[in-house]
Structure 1
Amino acid sequence: MIKTIVFGELLFDVYEDIAVIGGAPFNYSVQLSRLISKDDNLKFITALGKDDFSKEAIKFIENENIDSSLIQLLDNYETGKATVFLNENKVPDYIIHENVAWDNIEFSSDIEKALKERYDLFYFNILSCRSEKSYNALKNIFKNIDAKYKVCDVTFRKNYYTKEKVKEALDFINILKINDDELLAIKNLFYPSLKIDLKKDSEILLRNLNKDFNIDYIFLTLGKDGAASLHKGEYIFKPSNKIKVVDTVGAGDSFCAALSYAILKKSDIKKVLDFASAVSEEMIQVKGGTAKYDVKAIKERFNME
């Protein structure tokens, strides 16, 4: 049985006329839960308010292959929201509401008890520890968890990160998933004097990260240009296929879920990258970060059953 545990935000993207469930760790959990078997276990740690949004979230989770026993319901905080609007250039922008439930995840006795088990994989991101309370909960998990694979999907948002928190994460993990914008931010934090063109020389920066933080697997997503990986000194670049893009929301989360699954299935690095790329290409052809694609077909295509 595969045992995984995920920490982080569940929030609703609120548009003028609709609210859509999401948050990178939640999208990741949903997509990974559909790849693993019904006999496997995925625990999701987050906090929700006691409101209509949390009722909707719990109802959604009940229909997925996700263990909700570590989801905290808090009296004094609302379920997380991000208000989405168009800025003056008609580009979507958002306000991620602060001091909401997922900013107040406690290191509870239930979490402490759950960490007495051994896990195959643990996932978190940087956004989830923007507040001191959730950050302290995450640091306690770092100290107590026994997991073979420790995954960080960076997820920088606005100014909700510090060099200290990023360094702590990089020192802890053995799998890193990052996009090109986040790689630039990491360059500015840790390698400000390194004179490279990231469009041409991203491999140099990945090798620096591997050397300085001893990260076993690094995956870089490059949007329409493709993706790359670095593992055991081997750098692989995979260009993307030309497909019709419907919605890029959740593409990175599904990529990270797929690479996690492929590593858990002991795939070689080329197959991991190919599978993750194929899954994210399926996702951008459907709408929404928790949308469904034909999981069975793609697993059969890559002999991933």
Structure 2
Amino acid sequence: MKNIFLFGECMIELMTASNDATSNMLKQSFAGDVFNTAVYLKRTFPHVKVRLVTAVGKDNFSLDMIKYFESENIDTDLVFQSESKIPGLYSIQLDDQGERSFTYWRENSAARTVMDFIDESATDILTSGDMFFFSGISLAVIQPEARASFWQKLVQLKTAGVKIVFDPNYRARMWKDKEETIQAYEQAFKLADIALPGVEDFDSLYGINSVEGVIDFCQSYGISELVVKNGPASVITILDGEKELHQVTPVKTVVDTTSAGDSFNGVYLGARLADASIAESVDKASKAAGFVIQHKGAIAPKALFNDFVQQL
């Protein structure tokens, strides 16, 4: 059985359920970019062992969160529990085109302290994986003083033969400034075997607004498998120097784009762990993302998504 670890944060999600002149009802659930990726990977490829690496608290929200992980068949042996911290929280507002804006409360979230729990015993477990996935949000969440330890752990994993997977997923508000982000991302790109960048993120961070520019940047780090997400229209991949263009059929009705990239990542990585070709992996991932953005919230209804998977 293939084995992937996903390192990041799960948060309490609040989304408007109804909004009129007399009431504003909110629906509560759980989400976060790396957790979303884990859910869609496991739902689509149940034979892959999916293990979340994060920290939560011991409050009722945290206990419910762990139960939710388990209900999605995600392993929780590396979900640590802080004595004093609780999960972060965010709310989503959607516009008429399904584009979202967020408000966050995460400064004191337990996930920021996750590196305090990654001792040698946990590292030994991590070295048993086939892949280790993290994102730019994962890096931004952990305490800055813990990043040096994080890089040391990644070197250990890479030396042990674990494939390191990085999605830049840049969120400017989470970083002190661009210089801090660029320094962290340089380390991530140096260690990555697989990178999943989007042109939009590169434009915001580096001023690189073309696919070719992103490819040139990433290839300078010797990344062996590169998947460039060029908005809703296409995906460009490079595997060991061989470049492919994959056309994507845009979805006509977009309800909520919250988890488009996360669902793509999860299904793509699951397909690759299942030994699917690059073209097949992109096709499945693009279709999954197209399905997800037709539903509200980061996590599409389980029964509906499972029915969709049967058609992939």
* 1:158 paired residue number: 172
The one-letter amino acid of 1:167's match is E
Does the 8 Å contact 2:246/2:279 carry over to 1? no
Q: 2:124 aligns with which of 95, 99, 113?
A: 113
- Measured against aligned partners, the alpha-carbon deviations of 1:17-45 in whole angstroms (never above 9, x if no partner) come to 2333111011111111112234x322211
- For residues 309 and 27 of structure 2, the distance between their equivalents in structure 1, rounded to whole angstroms, comes to 31
Structure 2 partner of 1:99: 108
CA-CA distance at 1:300 after TM superposition: 5.5
Please tell me whether the aligned partners of residues 134 and 165 of structure 2 are also in contact (alpha carbons under 8 angstroms): yes
User: What is residue 216 of structure 1 aligned with on the other side?
Assistant: 224
Residue deviations 1:78-114, cap 9 Å, x none? 2111244689xx9733234213111111223441231
Identity across matched positions, percent:
23
Deviations 1:209-264, CA, capped at 9 Å, x for gaps = 24211112222323333433233231414133343222212111010011101212
Q: Per the alignment, in what secondary structure is the counterpart of residue 36 of structure 2?
A: helix
Report the 3-state secondary structure (helix = DSSP H, G, I; strand = E; otherwise coil) of the residue aligned with 2:172: coil
What CA distance in whole angstroms lies between the structure 1 residues aligned with 2:126 and 2:276?
27
Residue 62 of structure 1 is aligned with which of 67, 70, 89? 70
Change in CA separation of 1:74 and 1:285 when aligned onto 2, cut-off 3 Å:
same
Confirm or deny: 8 A CA contact 2:163 2:193 kept in the other structure. Answer: yes
In 2: Cα distance, 1:242 partner to 1:124 partner = 27
CA contact (8 A) 1:245 1:284 kept: yes
C-alpha change, 1:300 and 1:209, in structure 2 (3 Å) is: same
CA distance in 1, matches of 2:199, 2:219: 19
- Describe the SS at the equivalent of 2:73: coil
SS in 2 for 1:92: strand
Structure 1 unaligned residues grouped into runs of 5+: 192-197
SS for the counterpart of 1:178 is coil
Tell me the residue number matched to 2:137. 127
Question: Where does residue 10 of structure 2 map in the other structure?
Answer: 10
Provide, for residues 34-91 of structure 1, a one-character-per-residue CA deviation record: whole Å limited to 9, x for no partner.
12234x322211001222221220121121221101111101212111244689xx97
Counterpart contact for 1:102–1:134, Cα < 8 Å = no
Q: Residue 202 of structure 2 corresponds to which residue in structure 1?
A: 183
In the alignment, structure 1 residue 284 sits paired with structure 2 residue 293: yes
Relative to structure 1, the CA distance from residue 104 to residue 112 in structure 2 (aligned partners, 3 Å threshold; closer, same or farther) is same
Is the alpha carbon distance of 1:246 and 1:134 closer, same or farther for their aligned partners in structure 2, counting shifts above 3 Å?
A: farther
Aligned to 2:190: 171
* Alpha-carbon distance change, 111 to 296 in structure 1, aligned in 2, over 3 angstroms: farther
How far apart, in 2, do the equivalents of 1:264 and 1:173 lie?
16
Choose from 254, 257, 276 the match for 1:245: 254
Indicate yes or no: 2:76 matched with 1:72.
no
Q: Does the 8 A contact of 1:206 with 1:218 survive in 2?
A: no
* Number of residue-to-residue matches in the alignment: 286
Q: Which residue of 2 aligns with 1:268?
A: 277
- What TM-score does the superposition give when structure 2 sets the normalisation length? 0.82
In the alignment, structure 2 segments of 5+ residues that lack a partner are 16-23, 176-180
Q: Over the residues paired in the alignment, what is the CA RMSD in angstroms?
A: 2.5
Whole-angstrom CA distance in 2 between matches of 1:273 and 1:75: 41
Task: Tell me the amino acid that sits aligned with residue 142 of structure 1.
Answer: L
Are the structure 2 counterparts of residues 210 and 222 from structure 1 closer, same or farther at C-alpha, using a change threshold of 3 Å?
closer
